[in-house]
Structure 1
Amino acid sequence: MAELVEEDTALSFPPPRKCPYRLPEQYPDLRENAPVRRVLLPTGRHAWIVTRYEDVRKALIDPRLSSDRGDPDFPHMVELAKSDNDSTLSLAGMDPPVHTRARRAVVGEFTVRKTEALRPRIQQIVDEAVDAMLAGPKPADLVKALSFPVPSLVICELLGVSYDDHEFFEDRTSTMLNTTEPPLARQQAFFDLQSYLDELVTSKEKEPGDDLLSRQAAKSPEERSYDHAELVDLAFLLLTAGHDTTGNMISLGSLALMQNSQLRDRIVGDTSSTLDVVDELLRYFSITDLITVRIAKEDLEIGGQPIKAGEGVFALGGAANRDPAAFDNPEEIDVERGARQHVAFGYGPHQCLGQNLARMELEIVYETLFRKVPDLRPASSLDEIPLKNDAAIFGLHALPVTW
């Protein structure tokens, strides 16, 4: 049975990552000695963290754990501005059966077949971004030159958003996800983006085009799963999540490939194994470690630890993905392990809707970048690369590179 921890001994959470390649140093000890542990959030409230792979997967499919971010007891990581809860009934904050209906309406947009149809255009986007970087000054910042422009343009085209506005929504998303920003600044960024998307959805309803939002808006009242407000929330989720997660993985994965010649040469020489590399890098970095959050709707147990109704639970995918009970030598990057059972995309009903698209983008970026720039290398030392410990999704603020 897991250790029962009194409130006054709760750990401060989240601990920072001190290196791009290492998760918080407390995770191994927690997994071994207190796999379900009470922690103190920056808000001053308490919650539980779950660190073992088996327990994390069980928690993410337990119907007694809710994703309802509008619940007043939901364990938000930062203080919310007064009306932050007013908005989003997006997929990430829904529970069945509402979530089931809403997800079913759009899941067909993200099948393997649908995403494969986007491959030629994504390849063109990546080629143009890499060529533009090579034509510019050295060193270049890979984050600005490639990591975020590529997924931003892809999600813009998927949703029918003008790429001319990408700096606007990238800036607002960054502010919203930055845990050091004051609540009012995050609130204003949220309102700015929501207002923009409200106008966008209105335009799609009046004149539908050939994009995901238009296809939802053009459905008959009997067929529609989303009303106007819900479609705005869906656009909000897909636009913000669709570029921030992939952008951070492009940066971190590229850094790992620059510093591992064997892995880099494998991608360039045998593209059939690239998806295996992608999944191993997703497991290894686990950038969404902090966002699989739930609230207990009734009393339950996780890993033998009693959890009371109304208490928050963080199912830590990063800790799970480095669990030696699930992955041999988890601190090493090993493509041969076959890491498709990782939980970097979550698990269960809320598993990432766009994972097929994200995998394909990463596959194309890694192959193209190191085929075109085989001598790409960091232009600064590892300890000089700024880490995103101030954001809900881990990544790099900048990655200077040269060639």
Structure 2
Amino acid sequence: MSESVAFPHERPARCPFDPPEELASLRERQPIARLAFADGHQGWLVTSHSLVREVLADPRFTSRYELLHHPLVPAGSGPMPPAPIGDLSGLDAPEHTRYRKLLTGQFTVRRMRQLTGRVEEVTAEHLDAMQRQGPPLDLLKAYAQPIPAIMICEVLGVPYADRDTFRRQAADSIAASSPQDQFTAFAALGEYIGDLVLAKRADPTDDVLSDLTGTDLSDEELAGVGTLLLGAGLDTTANMIALGTFALLQHPGQLTALREDPGLADKAVEELLRYLTIAHTGIRAALRDVELNGHLIREGETVVLAANAANRDPARFPDPDTLDLNRQATGHLAFAHGIHQCLGQQLARVELRVALPALLTRFPGLRLAVTPEEVPMRTNSNVYGVRELPVTF
């Protein structure tokens, strides 16, 4: 067995869209390698597409938070707490299955595509606002964050009068500079959604939370589910819109292709999801001894899954480091795989298919207002992106 490696997390300065270079090297040499954690744990790092997919689909690996070691948590931080009530991302079957069955019907392809018209309206409103404000502006705050924020408000059934408060709390949770600040911000959101659940039980409307009040979920479970849906659907999509725009601005040929051919939107979204892989790292732990690609993973050992390296695997995607909007990027792991595959992926796709082409069409002269090197990147988070995206047009 070769020596343990440290978790690679530094992005190459020449291209902020690429994964850490060491991940590609490991993928070619050791697609499963021993990993040394800061807390002293010895686990594994998996970098190939086939092996990451295999682990995500294997019920012998758990996603329960309290059993996991995080590769970027400093020594002395202590174990992670169990998942809050309603957070199915940190649960295994059968608890996870119970929640998932109740939620799957709320986020079907058909139901999410029915929201396309409303996404188009919200998008047009914010493009108009950008036009009125004039350049330069921060695309993240002016465009990328508000669109998914408004849509998740409407999906969950947040009253119109509360939306400014709701969006401000959501923005605080995203902008939090420390785990404690983020915990405080999410606690405030959870408290608000708990009150909203009680209101929906008393007076149901046409939305996801109201529908779920007709299930056997408790008020506390409903509040937890609502908070999870908010966090999962807001931050990721906002970062995809902003980072996707940044990537297209750095690839003018691809940008022109998308602007000139709206029918390319479906392929473009899948390729940007693959190329950027903003939810870049997954974590699982072995519930029993498991043999993986000739290596014995012992019960209790944590396996870190480099989804960004997997989505750049040349064994799955030819010329993977090239952004090619004509690529058939199906099979990417940007939304994970297996029972924990992203529940809101269809809503995210609808928002991206509308928001990106509409922006490029409205502002054909859109460009960065700073040099690419001056764009502040969000590097200390489980969701990669920009802290702001100054643009002009």
Q: How far did residue 77 of structure 1 move?
A: 4.4
Q: Distance in 2 between matches of 1:257 and 1:5?
A: 40
Does the Cα contact within 8 Å between 2:286 and 2:298 map onto a contact in 1?
A: yes
Q: Is 2:136 aligned against 1:145?
A: no
Q: Distance in 1 between matches of 2:37 and 2:383?
A: 16
In structure 2, relative to structure 1, the CA distance for the partners of 1:272 and 1:87 (3 Å cut) is same
Q: Is 2:251 aligned against 1:260?
A: yes
In structure 2, relative to structure 1, the CA distance for the partners of 1:265 and 1:86 (3 Å cut) is closer
Given candidates 257, 260, 285, the residue that maps to 1:295 is 285
In structure 2, relative to structure 1, the CA distance for the partners of 1:402 and 1:352 (3 Å cut) is same
Q: How far did residue 70 of structure 1 move?
A: 3.5
Alignment-derived partner of residue 203 in structure 1: 199
Q: How far did residue 54 of structure 1 move?
A: 0.5
Q: Is 2:223 aligned against 1:232?
A: yes
Which consecutive residues of structure 2, in runs of 5 or more, have no partner in the other structure? none
Alignment-derived partner of residue 181 in structure 2: 185
Equivalenced residues, count: 386
Q: Distance in 2 between matches of 1:276 and 1:86?
A: 35
Q: How far did residue 83 of structure 1 move?
A: 8.9
TM-score where L is the length of structure 1: 0.90
Given candidates 104, 108, 114, the residue that maps to 1:111 is 108
Does the Cα contact within 8 Å between 2:66 and 2:81 map onto a contact in 1?
A: no
Q: How far did residue 14 of structure 1 move?
A: 3.6
Q: How far did residue 252 of structure 1 move?
A: 1.2
Q: Distance in 2 between matches of 1:163 and 1:368?
A: 24
Q: How far did residue 151 of structure 1 move?
A: 0.6
Tell me the SS of whatever aligns to 1:37.
strand
Q: Distance in 1 between matches of 2:79 and 2:252?
A: 50
AA of the residue aligned to 2:141:
K
Q: How far did residue 189 of structure 1 move?
A: 2.8
Structure 1 segments (4+ residues) deviating >4 Å: 79-84
Q: Could you list the per-position Cα deviations for residues 42-86 of structure 1 after superposition, in whole angstroms to 9, with x for gaps in the alignment?
A: 555443221001101100001100111243x45474376899536
In structure 2, relative to structure 1, the CA distance for the partners of 1:214 and 1:70 (3 Å cut) is farther
In structure 2, relative to structure 1, the CA distance for the partners of 1:43 and 1:399 (3 Å cut) is farther
Q: Distance in 1 between matches of 2:2 and 2:194?
A: 45
Pairing 1:30-109 to 2, within 5 Å after superposition: 30-71=26-67, 73-75=68-70, 77-78=72-73, 84-85=81-82, 87-109=84-106
Q: Could you list the per-position Cα deviations for residues 94-130 of structure 1 after superposition, in whole angstroms to 9, with x for gaps in the alignment?
A: 2122222211111112112101211111101111111
Does the Cα contact within 8 Å between 1:13 and 1:42 map onto a contact in 2?
A: no
Alignment-derived partner of residue 241 in structure 2: 250
Q: Could you list the per-position Cα deviations for residues 286-310 of structure 1 after superposition, in whole angstroms to 9, with x for gaps in the alignment?
A: 00012x2111110112222221111
**What root-mean-square deviation, in Å, do the aligned CA atoms of Structure 1 and Structure 2 show?**
2.1
Q: Could you list the per-position Cα deviations for residues 132-156 of structure 1 after superposition, in whole angstroms to 9, with x for gaps in the alignment?
A: 1121142111011111111111111
Q: Distance in 2 between matches of 1:22 and 1:265?
A: 22
Q: Could you list the per-position Cα deviations for residues 166-192 of structure 1 after superposition, in whole angstroms to 9, with x for gaps in the alignment?
A: 0112212442xx5xx2x5434323322
Tell me the SS of whatever aligns to 2:385.
coil
TM-score where L is the length of structure 2: 0.92
Which consecutive residues of structure 1, in runs of 5 or more, have no partner in the other structure? none
AA of the residue aligned to 2:92:
D
Q: Distance in 2 between matches of 1:85 and 1:349?
A: 19
Q: Distance in 1 between matches of 2:80 and 2:62?
A: 21
Q: Distance in 2 between matches of 1:383 and 1:102?
A: 43
Q: How far did residue 241 of structure 1 move?
A: 1.0
Q: Distance in 1 between matches of 2:372 and 2:235?
A: 22
Q: How far did residue 202 of structure 1 move?
A: 2.0
Does the Cα contact within 8 Å between 2:32 and 2:46 map onto a contact in 1?
A: yes
Tell me the SS of whatever aligns to 2:35.
strand
Q: Is 2:269 aligned against 1:273?
A: no
In structure 2, relative to structure 1, the CA distance for the partners of 1:78 and 1:233 (3 Å cut) is farther
Q: Is 2:276 aligned against 1:285?
A: yes
Does the Cα contact within 8 Å between 1:105 and 1:225 map onto a contact in 2?
A: no
Alignment-derived partner of residue 163 in structure 1: 163
Does the Cα contact within 8 Å between 1:61 and 1:349 map onto a contact in 2?
A: yes
Deviates more, 1:28-37 or 1:85-94: 85-94
Q: How far did residue 258 of structure 1 move?
A: 2.1
Given candidates 324, 335, 341, the residue that maps to 1:351 is 341
Does the Cα contact within 8 Å between 2:262 and 2:357 map onto a contact in 1?
A: yes
